[in-house]
Structure 1
Amino acid sequence: MEFKQKPAYKGYRAYEYLEPGKDFKDFDWADWDWAGRHVVELNGEQEAMAREIFAKHPYISLHDHPTFYPRDMSSVDHIFDSMRQGRAVCGYEALSWSNLDCVFDNMLDGVNIISSPGGWKWIDIIHDLGMRLCDIAHQDFLVHCKTVDDIFAAKKAGKIAWVACIEGAACIENEVDRIDILYGLGVRQLGVTYSESNALGNGMKEDSDGGLTKFGQACVERMNKVGMLLDVSHCGQKTAYDAVMYSKKPIIMSHVGAKGVWDIKRMASDEVLKAVGAKGGVVGIESAPHTTMSKTKMTHDLDSVMEHFEYVKNLVGIDHVGFGVDCLYGDHVGVHHAFAAALSTAESASGPQYEEVPYVWGLENPTESSWNIVRWLVKHGYSEEDIAKVIGGNAIRVLKEVWA
């Protein structure tokens, strides 16, 4: 495989308009490909097919965190200090090596500890969003995406459409109007809950799940009205099901896997997966470390992730599955260790015993995942039509209905 950069990238680095050390505290960030550049091998005919697919069809990641983490992950205080700056460093150059045409960026989210170790505070969410929008305003490679047309325009120009997302709605507290504010600021996807419960419903880490609350119903209605895409990836199973059924528009599970393959809280039940598909939505398959594992090899790599993909595809149909790999640039396993409490990693991953991996082979970051998912699908005999659906076509169908 020949590595190619998108020609529209002109070399911009995050916050290039400021002076590091004077205007902000800089850190030693990890190399974007710190674990290597792992590539699924293809023969000549397959390589040609993959190149044609990348050229013709929009590639959308429904869930990522395309920002850098420190090179040194040995000190929790050091890691926390970098997050408390509230200045997430976007991987522009790293993204330029990807095949992505659109990335749903969930920003700091669970590690947003600017003013509180508990995270998810309204002021911190707005700070994070505003800081990123300021950086994006000073460059022209990422396009702030608010409509489906923005995705097609970005692809045509060799750029990447950037979708601002908030992974959980705790920050809106008891204010429905904050959904309108987020939409007005350019946010186009909102999670009903993260792992912890909030005023809308129960998160997936809870031992019991009372479902979508009355306030949650009001929020779903408002999201439908303003055109905000709903995400139920981190909800408890009843809360997720209730939100799917209550919504008048299709919803997504942007980054999840199947309990039928790996039975932990972080994965979704067949009932919820079927409900998403039946209502016209899309299930994005994730690859964050130690989530979409399988008993086939008892490890986490590209093949185990694709086992979840094929399970969900067979369950809900090829028209209702996609990818939200949930990657970042840096040591993702190290991030999980440092933020174990905030990210509820212990509660969400409790299940069969396994040997921890240092990284997820083939899907360690947004760039690598954008190479290998298509290559895996080509190698395993999927048609161009079906590949086009799962890498972007299915998502675009939902977005046309929700964002309209």
Structure 2
Amino acid sequence: METEISDTAARLHEESIVIDGLVGSMMNLDPVMDGGLTAGNITLASSSTQDFLPVLRSAMEYHDLARVDDRAVMVHVAEDIVRAKEAGKAGFILGVQGCDFLGRDLDNIWIAQRCGLRIMQPTYNEENLLGYGCLEKTDHGLKAYGRIVIREFNRLNMLVDVAHVGQQTALDCTEASATPTILSHCNTRALNDNPRCVSDELIKEVGAAGGVVGISTYSSFAETTYDQRPTVEDVLRHISHAIDLVGVDHVGIGTDCFEARSPVSFERAMVRKYPEVLRTYMTAESRHAIGMGSSRSLPKLTQGMLDLGMPEDDIRKVLGLNFLRVFTEVFGEART
């Protein structure tokens, strides 16, 4: 049954700063504007991106879009998100899922930062020069070069994201970083024993360091009954569990929504490479919780949190203010 959005939820959602901790693309601004999304962390690279220049070209595409479409702005510092909200625009936050593209040249980090990248995930699902991804059978933690890179991220006001990072490597990243880390898009292992879901221990460490845990709507991560496509209520259970662990100040939303991903793209990017994190019901059309396959669906989470009895001020935090707080602390005055 389709979630009905009450007048209260519609008003609260419209008033709130809404930040998505991970979106696959914001090139189509129509669903972004329809869903009231203020800003999103756009993924420009994963472990399959080994070369530096394609990432920069992707970044430049968003700079160009923000230049030619007056509905969008680039986010360099947190204040850009506030200004986007005031102007009724959408903010582009550039990030990566995996730093393989950086190679061993630290100058590449500076170049990436100058091109607008702000959120850096050290690994994707696999091992790389920095550490270990969440699908590796063994995780020996953050490597020596990884510690060097984390220090450089800190120096350049770039935020460390440990969403796909292996447990020990993620804990090491959080310990090594001088500023908070985030789990941009994840779900709780306590409710779903999927290798892409994260442990209570890691959630607590990220929260204790001042970070934010972004809860995803991705089907095989958000389900709470094995191999049963989740509903909005299941997503809310993950949100509630994370709040129980670290408090409402450290929980957000990171949908992991790749708007209009084609069946071929889903087959190539997920089914052939990572079947261990998928479920039998999943297709390109059912890869998110029922009714949550688009940025247009975000008001349903606002309605759901109201239905749980959460105070409006707490809902505002989960919708975006918590991520905004961390962005304010980390991004500083790192303008390009």
2:263 and 2:243 map into 1 onto residues whose CA distance is 28
Asked whether the 8 Å contact 1:66–1:366 carries over to 2, the reply is: no
User: What is the aligned partner in structure 1 of residue 32 from structure 2?
Assistant: 95
1:311-390 counterparts in 2 under 5 A?
311-331=241-261, 335-340=265-270, 344-349=273-278, 355-356=281-282, 358-359=285-286, 360-368=289-297, 370-390=298-318
TM-score normalised per structure 2: 0.91
SS at match of 2:221: coil
2:56 is the alignment partner of 1:126 = yes
Cα deviation, residue 182, structure 1:
1.0
1:194 and 1:220 map into 2 onto residues whose CA distance is 15
Cα deviation, residue 223, structure 1:
0.8
Q: Could you tell me which runs of 5 or more consecutive residues in structure 1 were left unpaired when the two chains were aligned.
A: 1-37, 68-89, 112-117
Instruction: Write out per-residue CA displacement over residues 347-374 of structure 1, whole angstroms, 9 at most, x where no aligned residue.
Output: 434xxx7644642312101222x22111
CA gap 1:333/1:361 in 2 versus in 1, 3 angstroms: farther
Cα deviation, residue 120, structure 1:
3.3
Instruction: Write out per-residue CA displacement over residues 53-93 of structure 1, whole angstroms, 9 at most, x where no aligned residue.
Output: 223321111111135xxxxxxxxxxxxxxxxxxxxxx1122
1:346 and 1:157 map into 2 onto residues whose CA distance is 42
Q: Which amino acid aligns with 2:203?
A: L
User: What is the aligned partner in structure 2 of residue 63 from structure 1?
Assistant: 22
2:14 and 2:281 map into 1 onto residues whose CA distance is 38
Q: Which amino acid aligns with 2:228?
A: M
2:146 and 2:52 map into 1 onto residues whose CA distance is 17
Q: How many residues align?
A: 329
2:149 is the alignment partner of 1:255 = no
Q: Which amino acid aligns with 1:40?
A: T
2:117 is the alignment partner of 1:187 = yes
User: What is the aligned partner in structure 2 of residue 14 from structure 1?
Assistant: none
Cα deviation, residue 270, structure 1:
1.1
Asked whether the 8 Å contact 2:31–2:294 carries over to 1, the reply is: no
1:321 and 1:103 map into 2 onto residues whose CA distance is 16
Cα deviation, residue 281, structure 1:
0.4
CA gap 1:252/1:127 in 2 versus in 1, 3 angstroms: same
SS at match of 2:183: strand
Cα deviation, residue 334, structure 1:
5.7
Instruction: Write out per-residue CA displacement over residues 221-253 of structure 1, whole angstroms, 9 at most, x where no aligned residue.
Output: 111111001100011111011001111111100
Asked whether the 8 Å contact 1:289–1:333 carries over to 2, the reply is: no
Asked whether the 8 Å contact 1:288–1:332 carries over to 2, the reply is: no
Q: Which residue of the other structure, out of 321, 324, 331, is the alignment partner of 1:396?
A: 324
TM-score normalised per structure 1: 0.77
Q: Which residue of the other structure, out of 119, 123, 139, is the alignment partner of 2:69?
A: 139
1:274-285 counterparts in 2 under 5 A?
274-285=204-215
2:43 and 2:216 map into 1 onto residues whose CA distance is 14
Q: Which residue of the other structure, out of 40, 62, 66, is the alignment partner of 2:3?
A: 40
1:253 and 1:392 map into 2 onto residues whose CA distance is 14
Cα deviation, residue 332, structure 1:
6.5
CA gap 1:355/1:93 in 2 versus in 1, 3 angstroms: closer
SS at match of 1:374: helix
Q: Which amino acid aligns with 1:179?
A: I
C-alpha RMSD of the superposition: 2.1
1:298-317 counterparts in 2 under 5 A?
298-317=228-247
User: What is the aligned partner in structure 1 of residue 201 from structure 2?
Assistant: 271
SS at match of 1:339: helix
Cα deviation, residue 136, structure 1:
2.6
Q: Percent identity?
A: 27
CA gap 1:110/1:214 in 2 versus in 1, 3 angstroms: closer
Q: Which amino acid aligns with 1:401?
A: E
1:306 and 1:62 map into 2 onto residues whose CA distance is 16
- Greater displacement, 282-291 / 213-222: 282-291
Asked whether the 8 Å contact 1:204–1:348 carries over to 2, the reply is: no
